[in-house]
Structure 1
């Protein structure tokens, strides 16, 4: 999957809105390699997001950035806040996650007014996803160089899986994760912890798809601000700062969890022992909890994480491979591994 990102936030000057975009992989290590039509649409922030102005641009293979300039008629919006949507779709105001899915994720700027020199929050952009059952998921992420607070492929894949499972009363199509799917489709209230949550896309989606849940997002303190923004309209989500190298905060350590989520946390394999220690400690308090991992394979050393879990008696229950976006030999793998694990009851101390 590829992501449209703002390198320079939208700015209004001389009846023109300008911005600088790029189209990259989730970690930003590769750029969109083929020609693609990109559409910039200026929309009202409120009132259904009606379009004020639009213009098409062409992303050419080999590009690393593209300047977007959209003329806006004099007096447009009359001081009301607007957003700039950059997408490969001409009409969609939200990206479809299910069905045919998406290959290039759209981006929405922070709101701004059409006033000379006016810009939105430079460091924040919005992603909008249709997650089924007429539900739209809004997730804010940072545009700064820190990739930790961006949306990553594995998180999107796990959200897509949960959406498939919970969007229908019948057995969903596609890959199955028996234990997780049964837990999600159950009627009982569940207590969920996401480790390394970043901007919180997985936990946010779960809370919206399955209201009878309480979700705790956890990450380093640097994720607290973006998490607070994303959970502000959700009553059953909280955030707790958790550094895997430090003792687990009492707010987490004292709880019993039914589900622990880990999405794309092994890009830094040096952190594996600390993360495994946290998971092992939590499972000793909640021995029946289900650990669900979403992982995009990047290098062989990442398998150390799973091996360490097995050393501590945490065994695999289910596994599935989920294709994200279109198959393309010229792009890095779009296949995401999802697997569930549980503490072996016979495992010692």
Structure 2
């Protein structure tokens, strides 16, 4: 599991340049149901929005391919020491030094002042999230005295951002015969919706990052960097579905913010154009209420996959018909799933949808599942999968900060 810094009381959308903003930071699990039980220093910094054009500091690694590049930020300063006993403590944050009327700045909260840059979540680390909560970035705060009430704050923000980094090794230019691996660093910016919406099952939910999405994305980044010639079965089969230089059709169920689909599309960007005249089709699906945020995250990271942009579509597991964008593919190579087991009542609908996807094309797709156990009853999915001819086997995991880990499972049709 992972721990996240977030806002119990978020920053306002607007604040006076001459007064502090007030926030309540928290550190908890992905569902915000388990507070962090130790003490932890929290540091704050400000990043101007939009970012000014500037080169990366010479001490940093090669320039990343990203919508963010390297954020120009103020020096991190200790804000508070988080303790469970002061969970609801309201804390003033000074505005950026020298802020001017109508400027916009984003607030960054992190658990360390020394890591460079300290707002990055490094998915390339196999021990991602070990020993440190993830940082968070607010949406822009408009610093303007116009229209601000005497209380000093405007409407509270309802979204946050996090930035995830991973390397995308690619071969050098074919024309020159250069086969040297060039390391591109991808910075993926994911926006989360932190206000609660009522979903179709009359349950309140947030469109935010869940542990399995991070664990599976991190595993994908490591898997792509592995030596495919040394992969035995079934990893060689999975590699072909995920990272072949031929065009691939990949569907994600319950995509949420889209982090898994967007990570995979970014990793495939250096591959998809090599041996195929047709582009990839990576389709991130979820309920209708999730699609606007999915589209936002896809467009925010367009520079990571200019040749194979993913698409978002509505796929309600309770509906009889699959969307036309899926049925028109003719074949599917991989079905992605992460954190699809939180509601066991949805399992029959999930299996029905999976069964339909398995029948598209002459060759059934393989399944890649990221799973973190929240209740032992969720494990019933494994036997239910066998009832539709799918066998799952564990191929990896990401432990994160503590148990339970995010488990990585491979599935394929066995009959």
Tell me the TM-score normalized by structure 1. Answer: 0.88
**Pairing 1:251–2:252 present:** no
- The aligned counterpart of 1:105 is 134
- In structure 2, list runs of 5 or more residues that go unmatched: 53-69, 168-183, 197-203, 273-279
Post-superposition, which runs of at least 4 consecutive aligned residues in structure 1 deviate over 6 A? 170-173
- The aligned counterpart of 1:81 is 104
Tell me which moved more, 290-299 or 109-118: 109-118
User: 1:53, 1:119 → 2: CA distance?
Assistant: 26
Corresponding residue to 1:144 among 195, 199, 222: 195
User: 1:177, 1:147 → 2: CA distance?
Assistant: 34
Deviation, 1:134, is 1.1
User: 2:100, 2:352 → 1: CA distance?
Assistant: 54
User: 1:230, 1:121 → 2: CA distance?
Assistant: 21
- The aligned counterpart of 1:70 is 93
Deviation, 1:124, is 1.2
Where do residues 125-274 of structure 1 align in structure 2 (5 Å cutoff)? 125-132=160-167, 133-145=184-196, 146-167=204-225, 177-211=235-269, 212=272, 213-233=280-300, 234=302, 236-247=309-320, 248-255=322-329, 256-274=331-349
Deviation, 1:172, is 9.8
Deviation, 1:205, is 0.8
Q: Secondary structure at the match of 1:288?
A: coil
- Show CA shifts across 1:90-125 (max 9, x none): 142322222352231111111122223476882111
CA separation of 1:180 and 1:69: change in aligned 2, threshold 3 A: farther
- Show CA shifts across 1:19-74 (max 9, x none): 22211101121001100011111111302432346531100134434433222366
- The aligned counterpart of 1:320 is 395
Deviation, 1:162, is 0.6
Aligned-residue RMSD, C-alpha = 2.5
Select the structure with the greater relative contact order (CA < 8 A; seq sep ≥ 6). 2
User: 1:225, 1:68 → 2: CA distance?
Assistant: 32
- In structure 1, list runs of 5 or more residues that go unmatched: 328-332
Where do residues 3-42 of structure 1 align in structure 2 (5 Å cutoff)? 3-11=4-12, 12-13=15-16, 14-42=18-46
Deviation, 1:152, is 0.6
Higher-Rg structure is 2
Deviation, 1:137, is 0.8
Deviation, 1:292, is 0.9
**Pairing 1:115–2:144 present:** yes
User: 2:27, 2:230 → 1: CA distance?
Assistant: 32
User: 1:237, 1:66 → 2: CA distance?
Assistant: 41
